[in-house]
Amino acid sequence: MDNNQQPPLPLAVTMGCPASIGPEIIVRLFAGQLEKDEGLSRCVIIGDLAVLRQAAADLGIALRAESWRPGQSLQKNTLPVLCPDHPLPGKVTWGQPGLDTARAMISYIETAARGCMDKQFSGMVTCPISKEGLKRAGSPFPGHTEMLAHLTGTERFRMMLAGDRLRVVLVTIHEPLARVAALLSSERIQDCIAMTSQALERDFGISNPRIAVAGLNPHCGENGMFGNEEQEIIAPAVTSWRGPGQVSGPWPPDTVFYQAMRGKYDAVVCMYHDQGLIPFKLLHFQDGVNVTLGLPIVRTSVDHGTAYDIAGQGIADTDSLKSAILLADMISHNRQQRIKGQ
């Protein structure tokens, strides 16, 4: 590194719900890996230092975790932890969340998002939270994505699920299936295509990306026999696309994911949540990554829930967290390189 060049900003990793598998997968992933993996060595945990130490002790893991503040250098073989101003009052009981843990997980997200906006972090990676916990703590948001959009003043955002074999992006996210058709419009689908194209080029380094657009109905409506959304809404969004990349569709949902998995497409634009997440999780249940498109900051997340039923047992898989960290590191690097090249 040039003596005049600033070191890379650290990457913030939020602990998620303290009673969930979040603390466990953090200590298990980072134990013994801080020196080996450059991407992991640049991470700062946003969470509760005492809870992380409790998780390590309960699992018999040797891990040096220390308090950290913005501006401090990262110490070799040490897990830095930035704890918000209101730590938990005592030990957590694994798998038993309460109001304190709900408020804590919200504070971690707010701290990380604020740090990213203030250029203290290169991006943020989120461990799982409880939607019920958000509601219990009085949050009006159904999940991370909507909360981060609010915290960053973002009106246009999309959810991408990314793996090495399949990427899917959702036109509608957390909506009842009965409402999906009414929420679709050609403009909304084109907006999703545009954000997908930009992300593939800027964040993933894919020039001239190939994007498939899935239909809504079985067999893409079979010329109106099973629905008209393909003819009236989805096809016009595809045929009128004039932006970068190769966009095609609508394609029958029962075949398009197979084609994408075989390398024909770089991403599939999906009409609703489970249309994209069912095939994605079939392929990437352990190592899938959730990426929020449209934010002014880099944000990735594990693609799994709190798993309260197995919390504290030392059996939760760490692959998704590692993949989310490495992908956030890659996206941050690609964005910086793009800025330098402009």
| Residue indicated by tokens 């804590």 | 104
Give pLDDT tens digits for 299-340. Answer: 999 999 999 999 999 999 999 999 999 999 999 999 988 777
Q: Which residue has the tokens 């898989």?
A: 317
Residues whose CB falls within 8 Å of the CB of residue 242, separated by 6 or more in sequence, listed in order:
none
Q: Report the C-alpha gap between 276 and 241 in whole angstroms.
A: 22
**Using one digit for the tens of pLDDT, what is the confidence trace for 171-193?**
998 899 999 999 999 999 999 99
Q: Where are the alpha helices (H) located in 13-142, listed in sequence order?
A: 22-30, 38-41, 49-58, 99-117, 131-136
pLDDT tens for each residue of 227-236: 999 999 999 9
Report the largest interatomic distance among the alpha carbons of the chain, rounded to a whole angstrom. 67
pLDDT-based confidence at residue 1 (cuts at 50, 70, 90): very low
Assign 8 a pLDDT band (cuts: 50, 70, 90).
confident
With cut-offs at 50, 70 and 90, classify the pLDDT of residue 38. Answer: low
Average pLDDT of the chain to the nearest whole number: 93
CB 104 within 8 A of CB 48: yes
Q: What is the CA radius of gyration of the chain?
A: 21
Is the bond leading into 250 cis (omega within 30 degrees of zero)?
Answer: yes
pLDDT band at 5 (very low <50, low <70, confident <90, very high): low
Length of the chain: 342
Q: Where are the alpha helices (DSSP H) in 118-185?
A: 131-136, 144-151, 177-183
114-139 confidence digits (pLDDT tens):
999 999 999 999 999 999 999 999 99
State the pLDDT at residue 35: 67
Whether 290 contacts 304, CB under 8 Å: no
| Partners of 45 in beta bridges | 13, 81
Give pLDDT tens digits for 146-167. Answer: 999 999 999 999 999 999 999 9
Q: How far apart are CA 124 and CA 116, in angstroms?
A: 7
Residues 48-86 pLDDT 10s: 999 999 999 999 999 999 999 998 888 888 999 999 987
Answer yes or no: are the C-beta atoms of 9 and 119 closer than 8 Å.
yes
Query: With the CA atoms of 47, 89, 147 and 118 taken in that order, what torsion angle do they form, in degrees rounded to the nearest 10?
Result: -50
Question: d(Cα 107, Cα 104) in Å, to the nearest integer?
Answer: 5
Which residue segments constitute the domains of the chain, with CATH numbers given? 7-154+295-342 (3.40.718.10), 157-288 (3.40.718.10)
